Amino acid sequence: MSQVEIDHLNKFYTVGEERITAVQDVSVRIEKGDFVSIVGHSGSGKTTLISLIGGLIHPTSGRVLFDGTDICTLHENRLCEYRNKKIGFMFQFASLLPVLTAKENVLLPGIFDGGTTPEGEKRAEAYLDIMGIGNKKNVYPAQLSGGQQRRVAIARALMNNPELILADEPTGDLDEETEAEVIEVFQRINNKLGLTFVIATHSAGLVRECNRHFRMKQGILTEEIFPNEQEKRFRLASSDYYSI
């Protein structure tokens, strides 16, 4: 059984008399431990697809199965539980709360799940240590560099031990050096913890590290299959591959 199975998924929006297609008849299986990239022009449907997988929005039709359970049929309480316990969300901006310390920001998912515990605080500190910023646990976001803020956001996404990481342009606002640091962290998490990653990105460096590659265009998702490693390197080096 695939960890995530998307079955004929559609999402349409109606604006006045116009119907806008965001996701069109997408079917794909994602296995546990996959490191997946999705590229495509802005407006191609990448963010909508990630939001559907994460249960943030409901599809017009089709199914999203996680470990065999169709999340589209879950009542709101169970859907919230799915988002909180199964999914780690990462977005383009770290979105840390400025009035909270690094450690307090990491603890937020636990607060929404019934409050903090001594064990939760130890886990938050452990994740900050893993991210290499354990000495910054009592520092506020304004006192952190962009890369350090991103590491706090990654620790926060891991706080409730998710099984799937959904990332939407997670390195879009970072410089080249900081982006390389974040990519290295993603690789370490994927390799050591076996977490599945689905990442919408325009980052060439990030895409090159993924083991599966998809392109989205006008709501249609297509997997890019490369016949050999040389062809893969050539295609991923192409300037139009990452066009916005």
pLDDT digits (tens, 9 = 90+) for 51-75: 999 999 999 999 999 999 999 999 9
Structure tokens of 32? 């546990």
CB 146 within 8 A of CB 173: yes
Range in 6-10, 20-24, 90-94, 144-148 with the lowest mean pLDDT = 90-94
How far CA 121 is from CA of 103, 108, 116, 166, 189, in Å, comes to 8, 11, 7, 24, 20
Angstrom distance (rounded) from CA 165 to CA 86: 9
* Secondary element (H or E) of residue 89: strand 87-90
For 55-75, the DSSP string reads TSS--SEEEEEETTEEGGG--
Q: What is the pLDDT of residues 7-24, one digit of tens each?
A: 999 999 998 888 999 999
**Domain ranges for the chain:** 94-161
Angstrom distance (rounded) from CA 166 to CA 87: 7
